[in-house]
Structures are given as structure tokens and as C-alpha cells.
Amino acid sequence: MRSPVTAPSQGELQRQNDFMLKIKAINDQKEKRPRFMINTFGCQMNAHDSEKLDGMLRQMGYEPCDDEKDADFIIYNTCCVRENAENKVYGNLGYLKHAKKDNPDMKIALCGCMMQQPTVIETIRKKYRHVDIVFGTFNIYKLPELIYTNIESASPVFDIWDKHADIVEDLPTVRKFKYKASVNIMFGCNNFCSYCIVPYVRGRERSRRPEDIIAEVKALAADGVKEVMLLGQNVNSYGRGLEEEISFAELLRRVNEIEGIERIRFMTSHPKDLSDELISAMADCKKVCNHIHLPFQAGSNEILKRMNRRYTKEHYLELVDKIRAAIPDIAITTDIIIGFPGETEKDVEETIDVVKKARFNGAFTFIYSKRTGTPAAEMPNQVPEAEAKKNFDKLLEAVNPIVYELNQKKVGNTYKVLVDGVSSDPLFVTGRTEDNTLVHFKGCSELIGDIINVKITDCKTFYLIGEQV
């Protein structure tokens, strides 16, 4: 069923609270608390949505568990940016059909970007009838009502909206980390890069009001959070459509004033909207980390044009120079797509040329994945998989030695590392420098959440090795 879009308000939040209480009362009566597990695919936006699902489930009297085998309630928070993420979900759902036979009370819920595609919903209705609850990206706050409806009706509940309603503030959230947190500053995307499904499944761009963001960050700081990650598909266009005229640079300056917060990160920046004002704000604000993720996607101007990226290779490289001139020790990371329709050897060379000139500290590299409904899916000259794979390997051969070289330059220096967790070797912990480089050093779990001075003694391509000083 595609529901009409009713605008949720804070009254709506109260309504969901009532459903939460009803479900909690049901769960309180059970001999054993039902256990839940959330399996999250995709980006940080999804990871943050899962924290909200987690918060709501706990308030409803469910208990978390780490293994699907033990779970009575399983949620897949899905991604559809590339096909393999979708295939994984279908594969897992096949397996869950058998698991549900062993535990007939098991409930399976699906949500997230993949569910915003009508063909996916059709497939689930036809082939995956063991799924109990399906919802999309615009109505996660309705989870309590959907669970309640499913219990009451004893039949599957599908609730997919095709556009957003108002932004619902103050959902209960359980943060994965005590000392760091993500904060949505905006939702959706208006850019329509021709390969990308996100604008179709996350809707139009809308920004949260600065006072709501500031209040959330202040509350996080009061709760012991040291590092915040400001999240949006394109943070550089933050503020459009808000009553108050405010830019992302101004928002950064305001967040920088909040006592208790020690590190500020943000994701993702679109090169076409990156302003001088933002570069100055980054340089001025002490708490804003010296790292920027600035996807360039492709080096060929012809490909960039057909990707609808609205900048050129030259403009991108100029930006990189400008950023480095203002913030000399900044780390720049990027996203690159190989195998976009019509890509030639020469185009790949242009991409590699950007890699060599920009000298990235890290790159997420992807093989183009055809997404039905996007303009690129209809373009001629789709690149054969074998060719894309070959070019992908060539790209990595250009990216990795530079990353290694930049890491090597850090050996001998001391950096502040925010410790995240215990490493695979239990004698070591891992953490991030301000420029977001991963560091391993000897230490125990008590250090998690602390900012420690670490002298770098050695490095690999993807991490540094050091010792506490």
C-alpha cells in the first residue's frame, strides 16, 4: 500500500510513543524479552537511521543481540546504491526463510533505500512472503505503529511513502559509541548525478533548522560526546529553503562554539558547492578536523558532464589546491567510479591523472553499477565487466602507493588519536587521528573514548602503527 503522505508533527511523535508503550506492555508480559538484531547496509546515513531504530526497539522492551540465530525480531536496513548490496539482502532473506521455520515467532522487517523501489516491493510480495513488515526511508519513525499493526492484524504490513513529510525531531536514539555521534543536518539530494539512485529513494533535499541541530549537539556534548559527524548527502548546500538564511560554513562556526565537543567532522561535500567561505570556516574553527571527503567520481570532463556532476577536472584540482593552501596538513579523501557508460582507456587515464595530481589520503573506489530508473542506465556503450575490472585494478595501482607514501610521511610524528576500539590483536587498540587516519597502538580497552598522544613508528597502506607517549 502506498499511503497518502500525512505530515508527521511532534503530535505524531506522541502517537508513536503511545504505540511504543502498548508494545512494551505486551513484551513485559512475555516470559523472556524478545531479542532484536539490526543488519545495516550502506552509508553513514543508514547507520544513523539504525541507531534510531535501535532506540525505539529498546523502548518497546526488546533486547539487543549480536547473532541473527538468536533474534526474534530482525531488521534489514537496506542500501541500493550498488547492485551487490541488494543481492546480499535477497540472499540473506532466502536463508531467513529456513530460520523462521525453526522460530515461527520470528519477525522480519525490511526498511531503507532499497524499499523505495516499486520493483523491489513487488519482488518481496511475490517471492519473500515470510517478510512481516516493510517500510521506507521517509517513515522510520513509524516503526512502533507498524509493529503494533502487524501484531494486531497478524498479517504483513507494507508502508512505503513516495515522498517525505516533515522532519520528525527527538526520536529515541541509541548511539553505537558513547563518545562520538552522527547528527543529520539535512536529508535527501537534489543533484541527480546520472548514475545515482539516491535522489529517487531519499527524496528532495531538506535541511534541519540550525536551532534543532545545535540543541542536539549540545545535548550530545552534555552526554559525554567528544566528536560529532554532521551528515548530509551534500552538506555544502545546507540551509536552502530554511526560514533563517544560513550556510553550512556558518553552521560549522556555530557548532564549533559548543562546549565539550572536541572534534567536528562532516560528510559529504559536493565539489560544485564547496565555497571559499567553507574553506575559511574550516581553517578558522579549531574543532573542525583537518579532513575533507570530496568525491570526484571521474577525471574526464566528458564523463563528468554525462554524470551530471556540474564541475570540470580543472575546477576540482583548483579546489584541492585552494583547500591545501588554506589548511596545509589536511587529508583529502574521495570516491571514484570506474566503468561509467562510454568510459574509454583515455577517460581512465584522466581519472588516474587526477589521482596523481590531487594525491588523495584515501579513496573509495567503485565499479559502476547500473541502477534501473537512472539516466545512466539508458546510456549506450555500457562497459563490459571484465574491462571495468581491469581498469579498476589499474586505478588501485595508482591510488594505493600514494596513500602509502602519505602515511609514511607521518612516521616519527605524534598525533592525537581518539580511541575507537580493541584491534583484532587484543593487545592493541585502534583509533583515528584528526585527519581520520586509522592508527593501531598497544593499549587496553579502558582507553576507548579517550584522546591519546600517539607517536607513529611504522605504517601500512591503510593504517599507521604507533605507541602511546
Q: Which of 186, 196, 229, 352 binds ligand SF4 (CB under 6 A)?
A: 196
Q: Pseudo-torsion of CA 14, 18, 23, 26, nearest 10°?
A: 160
The region of 145-153, 184-192, 215-223, 392-400 touching ligand SF4 under the rule CB under 6 A is 184-192
CB 227 within 8 Å of CB 179: yes
Member of 77, 117, 233, 247 binding ligand SF4 (CB under 6 A)? 233
Interface residue with ligand SF4, options 40, 59, 137, 191 (CB under 6 A): 191
Among residues 389, 338, 340, which one has the least CA distance to residue 366?
338
192 binds ligand SF4 (CB under 6 A): yes
Residue 366 binds what, of ligand SF4, ligand 5AD, none (CB under 5 to 8 Å, by partner type)? ligand 5AD
- Of 55 and 375, which has the nearer Cβ to ligand SF4? 375
Q: Does 417 bind ligand SF4 (CB under 6 A)?
A: no
Q: Of these partners, ligand 5AD, ligand SF4, none, which one is at the site of residue 191 (CB under 5 to 8 Å by kind)?
A: ligand SF4
CB of 368 to ligand 5AD, least distance (A): 5
Strands 451-459 and 414-422: antiparallel
* Secondary structure tally for the chain: helices H, strands E: 13, 19
* Residue with the shortest CB distance to ligand 5AD: 335
Rg (CA), the chain: 23
Partner from ligand SF4, ligand 5AD, none binding residue 90, C-beta < 5-8 Å depending on class:
none
- The Cα–Cα gap between 246 and 236 comes to 11
Minimum CB separation of residue 253 from ligand SF4 in Å reads 24
Which is closer to ligand 5AD, CB of 250 or CB of 335? Answer: 335
Cβ atoms of 295 and 274 closer than 8 Å? no
82 binds, among ligand SF4, ligand 5AD, none (CB under 5 to 8 A by kind): ligand 5AD
How far, in Å, CA of 139 to CA of 49, rounded?
Answer: 11
Burial class (CB in 10 A: 0-12, 13-18, 19+), 380: exposed
- Does 234 bind ligand SF4 (CB under 6 A)? Our answer is yes
User: For residue 165, what are the CA distances in angstroms to 12, 49, 233, 262, 455?
Assistant: 11, 16, 18, 34, 49
- The set of cell numbers assigned to 71 is 533474534
**Least distance (Å) between residue 306 CB and ligand SF4:** 13
Angle at alpha carbon of residue 198, lines to 193 and 199, rounded to 5°: 70
Nearest distance, CB of residue 340 and ligand 5AD, angstroms: 8
HEC secondary structure over 219-231: HHHHCCCCEEEEE
Query: Rule CB under 6 A: which residues touch ligand 5AD?
Result: 81-82, 195-196, 295, 297, 335, 337, 366, 368-369, 371
d(C-alpha 182, C-alpha 40), whole Å: 15
Stretch that binds ligand SF4, among 166-174, 194-202, 317-325, 425-433 (CB under 6 A): 194-202
232 binds, among ligand 5AD, ligand SF4, none (CB under 5 to 8 A by kind): none
In 3D, which of 51, 180, 47, 173 has the Cα closest to residue 449? 180
Q: Does residue 270 interact with ligand SF4 by CB under 6 A?
A: yes
Interaction between residue 404 and ligand SF4 (CB under 6 A): no
The cell 526520536 sits on which residue? 171
Which partner in ligand 5AD, ligand SF4, none is near 456 (CB below 5 to 8 A by kind)? Answer: none
In 3D, which of 450, 398, 380, 385 has the Cα closest to residue 177?
450
Residue 350's H or E segment, with its range, is helix 345-358
Residue 12 contact partner, candidates ligand SF4, ligand 5AD, none, CB within 5 to 8 A by sort of partner: none
CB nearer to ligand 5AD: give 48 or 226: 48
Q: Considering the complex, what minimum distance in angstroms separates the CB of residue 364 from ligand SF4?
A: 12
Of ligand 5AD, ligand SF4, none, which one does residue 371 interact with (CB within 5 to 8 Å by kind)? Answer: ligand 5AD
Residue 199 binding ligand SF4, by CB under 6 A: yes
Q: Verify binding: residue 237, ligand SF4, rule CB under 6 A.
A: no
C-alpha cell at 324: 591545501
Catalog residues that contact ligand SF4 under the rule CB under 6 A.
189, 191-193, 196, 198-199, 233-234, 270
